[in-house]
Amino acid sequence: MKYRLILRLAAFVGAVFGIALMFAPDALLATYGADSLNSPGRGMAMLYGSVLTGFAIMNFAASRAPDVAEIHYVLIGNLVAFTLGFVITLYRVLMVESVPDTAWFNVLLNLGFAALFGYLYAASPAGYRLHSTSRHA
């Protein structure tokens, strides 16, 4: 799979969720069957939406790079963000009773993107060099 497609897909998904969280966090949560947020929770959701939107813009811009080696730090950032997102969403779905079953969508979304960015990083020249050279202690 080409890195441009993965980055643009991540940009699209990030923009959709980011804009929804910035401007209508309660409406987005209602699609999951979750309760409405209180004022501090709504503010945090809006801030998170702005971060997702920033990631979306970064990923779209990185998708225009002529070579994947030029954006290996973007790949690392996405890999870390989606891996942590997977761990957190999985923990919450399994351990918090009030989380609706529809949150499994977020678990799968984060797992899928973590796997895709892990693949991209490992297959990129920077990731390949980093993990294939021997290091002496």
Query: Of 8 and 136, which is predicted with more confidence?
Result: 8
Q: Is residue 137 part of a domain?
A: no
Cβ 25 vs Cβ 49: under 8 Å: yes
Helices 125-132 & 104-123, crossing angle to 10 degrees?
Answer: 80
Report how far residue 12's alpha carbon sits from residue 85's, in angstroms, rounded to the nearest whole number.
Answer: 17
pLDDT band at 125 (very low <50, low <70, confident <90, very high): confident
Q: Is residue 20 part of a domain?
A: yes
Place of tokens 């643009």: 8
Element (H, E) at 23: helix 3-23
Q: Is residue 51 part of a domain?
A: yes
> What's the start-to-end Cα distance of the chain, in Å?
36
What average pLDDT does this structure show over 118-136? 70
Q: Is residue 38 part of a domain?
A: yes
Cβ 21 vs Cβ 45: under 8 Å: yes
Alpha-carbon torsion angle 81, 44, 28, 107, nearest 10: 30
pLDDT digits (tens, 9 = 90+) for 4-36: 999 999 999 999 999 999 999 999 999 988 888
Q: Is residue 45 part of a domain?
A: yes
Domain of 111? 3-132
Q: Is residue 24 part of a domain?
A: yes
Instruction: Please report, as a single letter, which amino acid is at residue 83.
Output: T
Report how far residue 126's alpha carbon sits from residue 129's, in angstroms, rounded to the nearest whole number.
Answer: 5
Q: Has residue 48 got a pLDDT over 90?
A: yes
The number of folded domains in the chain is 1
Cβ 10 vs Cβ 59: under 8 Å: yes
